[in-house]
Every structure is written in C-alpha cells, then in structure tokens.
Amino acid sequence: MPGRLASAKRYVTPQFGTTILSEAVILILFALGIASIPLTATLVIGLASIWTIYVRRRQLSQESSDKIVALIKRMGRLVDQIGITASNQGAVDLLGKVEYDKDTSIRTRKEAQVMMVEIKDAFKIFQAWQTSVKESAQLLKETYTPSVNLSYVMHAINDLIFLYDYYLDNICNKTVRLVNDASTQSPDLSGSFEALRGNMYELRGAINLFLVDCTEAGLRPIKAQVNPWSAHLDPRPVWG
C-alpha cells in the first residue's frame, strides 16, 4: 500500500488538481443553470491558469531558496577549509625552514627580518578575519529565510573571495619570495612547499566551482574566479 501511494503521488500534480477542479465547477454551474457552458469554461480555465502559475512560482521560489541554503552551507565549509589550509603546513611554516644569516644580493638580513615580521602580522590579521567570516557564514546559515535580502548572502560570498585572495597575495606569495631569497634552506623545504601548493590548488578549485554554482543560482559574485597560484620555489644551497 505505501508503494502504491508513493506511485500515485507522482501523478497528483498541481496541474492535475486544477483540471479536476475545473471540471467539477463546470458541471455544478451548468447543472444549476447559473451559466452557460462557454462562459463557465472561460471563467474556470482563466482561474485554473492563474492558480497553476501561482503554484509554479511558489515551487520555483522554494527551489531557489533551497539552492541558496545549500550554497550557504558550502560557503561555511570552504571558509573552514581556508583556515585548515593556512594552519596545516601553511605558508608561514615555510619561514622556519630557511635562514637569513647574512645579506644576499636581493636584500639585507635586516630587511629580511622586517619582512618576516610583516608576513606574520599579516597572518594574524588573516586569522582574525577568517574567524569573523566563519561566524558570519554560520549566522547566515542559522537565520536565512527566503525573505532575507540576498545582498547579505552576496556580501558573505565576496568575503570568502577576498579572504582567499588576501592569504594568497599577502602571505603565500610574499613568503615564497622571501624564502627564495634566503641564503640557506632546510632539506625538507621543497616537500613543504609542494604540500602547500597542492592544498592551495585544491582549495582554489573548490572555491571556483562554488562560484560557478552561485552564478547559476542567480547570484553575482564580485569575480568569477579567485586568483591563481603562480609562485615557484627556486633552488638554493641547503643547510646541514
């Protein structure tokens, strides 16, 4: 019996319901002699069309709302992934695998030390920002309804984009440039660099796919793709 009911439900659509209702009204009005068949049919078909359009719009609105909710949940997971990527074998960890024990042709030892401090300060800003974006995404997930202005959703999506680009441009790229200029490097620097680059490639792919789905859902992110990874590790003498 449950199987038969489930099968029957597939055919009980709003259009099916309006058709049955139309036929019932036509028969009743005609039987009572209130209206002629042509007039009754015209009125009922018009009302049925309006009802069908209304129901379909509600269905489309619900489908759109469901897509937005799913995107908000994905956005929260991506913000978490950015935080994990930055903390687990992140760019700042590479600074511990080089030594600036003397001046180089690119910069002095003092300049390198200043740059290290700047990178670490930028990473602290990133961590605070990532926490804030994560909390905003969580709040949006808990409070979103179809009545919520989509500008709030767009603001959160753009924050995700800005957060990734900030980490890539102001921390990853600057760190790799500084590491390349170091006088000596740790033997395991290359492995750490490749792990970081692989994690960033994976993260960028996930974010870009998310942005494609946002656009298909009718949202308009500030950009279609986040910035690509372009840094390379130059060979240097290793210590030990």
CA-nearest of 85, 87, 82, 217 to 137 is 82
Number of domains in the chain: 2
pLDDT tens track for 58-94: 544 555 678 899 999 999 999 999 999 999 878 999 9
Instruction: Name the token pair of 219.
Output: 């949202």
The model's confidence at residue 121, banded by pLDDT at 50, 70 and 90, is very high
- Domain that residue 174 falls in: 64-216
Would residue 238 count as lying in a domain? no
Would residue 236 count as lying in a domain? no
Same domain, 77 and 49: no
How far, in Å, CA of 182 to CA of 111, rounded?
Answer: 11
4, 15 Cβ separation under 8 angstroms: no
Same domain, 53 and 84: no
Instruction: Name the token pair of 84.
Output: 């994990």
Domain boundary (36, 57, 78) is at 57
pTM over 0.75: no
Same domain, 35 and 123: no
Would residue 229 count as lying in a domain? no
**Cβ atoms within 10 Å, residue 205:** 11
Same domain, 26 and 53: yes
Same domain, 28 and 98: no
Residue 61 main-chain phi, psi, to 5 deg: -65, -40
Same domain, 22 and 69: no
How far, in Å, CA of 229 to CA of 16, rounded?
Answer: 54
How far, in Å, CA of 154 to CA of 157, rounded?
Answer: 5
Same domain, 103 and 203: yes
Same domain, 162 and 99: yes
Contacts within 8 Å (CB) and 24+ apart, 108-117: 112/178, 112/181, 112/182, 115/174, 115/178, 116/178
pLDDT tens track for 30-44: 666 665 656 555 655
Lowest mean pLDDT among 24-28, 113-117, 150-154, 191-195: 24-28
Instruction: Name the token pair of 6.
Output: 């489930």
Would residue 233 count as lying in a domain? no
Would residue 227 count as lying in a domain? no
How far, in Å, CA of 199 to CA of 126, rounded?
Answer: 17
Same domain, 91 and 174: yes
Same domain, 27 and 74: no
201, 132 Cβ separation under 8 angstroms: no
**Coil vs helix vs strand at 148:** coil
Amino acid, single-letter form, for residue 44: V
Same domain, 182 and 96: yes
Would residue 44 count as lying in a domain? yes
Same domain, 127 and 80: yes
